[in-house]
Structure 1
């Protein structure tokens, strides 16, 4: 970050988002601001988190403020007599107005792309946390195969998955769990409802465990009872699209080109309009980070990037299939952290 400050001629950088606060300082409280200069590290927080901050962020001088954070931050900037200030895009207009009430000499500059660039390469410590999360997803999926049966609701299935992950070490789950059955499996982000699952239906499960702040992401689609020809067709197309993308992916490959490998298979099978999201996305302290494997992202994959590969086909009124693995880009190729089978799992309807 200090290298960025030198290049951009910034006097100070303010870090406010919870993910970036944790990344740069290890502080996990819900309120606070980091101020990084070329010589100092300051963490502003209130009474609730002052002791926690001292324990979690030993490299930072912890300064306890009173009143609202934005006003305290503005006063601190005024005291420091700085002019060029780097800020994240997550800073709200209202918060910035509050800061400016206390200081009128600062010029604010976005550092969002620079922060994304710093965070996109994960070190081995970060990777191990993500891999542990994927292990919990694998464990939950293997358990749920013997749990699912007709008559259960989507919510019951989702709660069981969550229970298994948390019981075995997850500190949380990603917010957008998808448990979608029957015709609802055509919803890419169909959150669990009270809908009852029935024989003859797909059940799509997109889950993720959080370990020490780091997210994982995992999707499998199963069928209750013997699949019909249409279900087999759609599943095999998605499976093939993912396998071809995995055969292509690796360091030096361009995100948009990897996306096209999978997308072309689905398009040539006649379902191009039914695959409307990107092939994958990076993750870490946030469930969706950059880069993304989509047609508009020309980023080059580098060792240390962690990214999902998740093609899907979604047919409104009928159902849908998605298969998702979590990939770590390595010097000599990639490591697939997801171990669960991708063969279509047929759930006994009895």
Structure 2
């Protein structure tokens, strides 16, 4: 049995649960290595079943070596329930945030003697500590992002559209080894840079624009996250000011990060710097978040998260200032918490990159 399964089984026994049903693609892959798009895991003490249909049986057997693969004919839920039908009563963990309502209702109807409880806290806690294999995949992803940033600096120029920038980044990253890019790919220029998650549009880049690029490469299913903001042509005094505040907020936050530090305390450092500069209302998201098989995992660097950072956690640090009608800046690095501090996986410079623009000849 792999270490991830062992951790889940230990918690299952400790809570006196009779089993756990895994539905989400991320947890399915995490615990079994199965990457098919259909299937459910039934994990009990001494028994691991992967239930899928005809299309994926061979794939499941090849990828999920720790599981007995069962093929359902018409109704996957019915076969899942068969694994618990011998119980007169019991408690079973279920991913409340992932399982569709119709499946939950069918489970309740077929297994009235079972109490279903949310297992997300358990699975999130296990996944929050990344192993070396996971860290290696995330590190490869952010290496591709760094390479893409160096490349895109030579591509950006007035007259290009946000979509052209986004497509060039995607093409470069896939050629560099990424299997895909993260879903919320952000390319926002000029006044649109004030949109924290502004998707690329046909807007044409102009001299004087801030260009905010937030993208991530996917490697072995693991997502990386990277943000830099550049300026086309000489920056104004206000642009330099806003950029320097965001950079200071990030760098001061990095100084306190390490094992034993509470997430909310890191958030407070970065948020206070932006607030003290008069831009508190212009920074409305968390200072950072964990990631892995999903773009936003637990824990998060926010005021309400008192999780204590531990070695093996992977966390972003991404303060920003967003001014409607003017633009915005975000700078993001990706860190791995270590025994004595952290390792910054992001190597791109945080100096404001100024894109040289050619003067028109009249």
TM-score tier, shorter chain, comes to over 0.9
1:36 paired to 2:43: yes
**Residue of structure 1 equivalent to 2:55:** 48
Q: CA deviation at 1:238?
A: 0.3
**Residue of structure 1 equivalent to 2:327:** 319
1:175 paired to 2:183: yes
Residues 170, 209 of structure 1: 8 Å contact kept: yes
Hey, what's the Cα distance between the residues in 1 that align with 2:87 and 2:69?
Answer: 15
Hey, what's the Cα distance between the residues in 2 that align with 1:80 and 1:44?
Answer: 19
TM-score (structure 2 length as normaliser): 0.95
**Residue of structure 2 equivalent to 1:152:** 160
Hey, what's the Cα distance between the residues in 2 that align with 1:194 and 1:69?
Answer: 44
Hey, what's the Cα distance between the residues in 2 that align with 1:342 and 1:81?
Answer: 61
Q: 1:306 aligns with which of 285, 308, 314?
A: 314
**Residue of structure 1 equivalent to 2:348:** 340
**Residue of structure 2 equivalent to 1:264:** 272
**Residue of structure 2 equivalent to 1:59:** 66
Q: 1:250 aligns to what SS in structure 2? A: coil
**Residue of structure 1 equivalent to 2:3:** none
Aligned-residue Cα RMSD (Å) equals: 1.1
**Residue of structure 2 equivalent to 1:200:** 208
Hey, what's the Cα distance between the residues in 2 that align with 1:79 and 1:46?
Answer: 23
**Residue of structure 2 equivalent to 1:4:** 11
1:35-184 correspondence to structure 2 within 5 Å: 35-78=42-85, 83-89=90-96, 90-184=98-192
Unaligned runs of 5+ in 1: none
1:226 paired to 2:244: no
Hey, what's the Cα distance between the residues in 2 that align with 1:263 and 1:43?
Answer: 45
Q: 2:151 aligns to what SS in structure 1? A: helix
Q: 1:34 aligns to what SS in structure 2? A: strand
TM-score (structure 1 length as normaliser): 0.98
Q: 1:42 aligns to what SS in structure 2? A: strand
* Total equivalences in the alignment: 350
Q: CA deviation at 1:82?
A: 6.5
Hey, what's the Cα distance between the residues in 2 that align with 1:117 and 1:91?
Answer: 19
**Residue of structure 1 equivalent to 2:259:** 251
Hey, what's the Cα distance between the residues in 1 that align with 2:305 and 2:134?
Answer: 24
Hey, what's the Cα distance between the residues in 1 that align with 2:107 and 2:76?
Answer: 9
Deviations 1:184-236 (A, max 9, x none): 00000001111111110000000000000111000000000000000000000
**Residue of structure 1 equivalent to 2:225:** 217
> Displaced runs of 4+ in structure 1, greater than 4 A?
79-82
Hey, what's the Cα distance between the residues in 2 that align with 1:114 and 1:101?
Answer: 25
Residues 27, 57 of structure 1: 8 Å contact kept: yes
Q: CA deviation at 1:72?
A: 3.0
Hey, what's the Cα distance between the residues in 2 that align with 1:314 and 1:146?
Answer: 26
Q: CA deviation at 1:248?
A: 1.2
Residues 19, 45 of structure 2: 8 Å contact kept: yes
Q: CA deviation at 1:80?
A: 6.7
Residues 327, 334 of structure 1: 8 Å contact kept: yes
1:17-28 correspondence to structure 2 within 5 Å: 17-28=24-35
Hey, what's the Cα distance between the residues in 1 that align with 2:207 and 2:122?
Answer: 50
Unaligned runs of 5+ in 2: 1-7
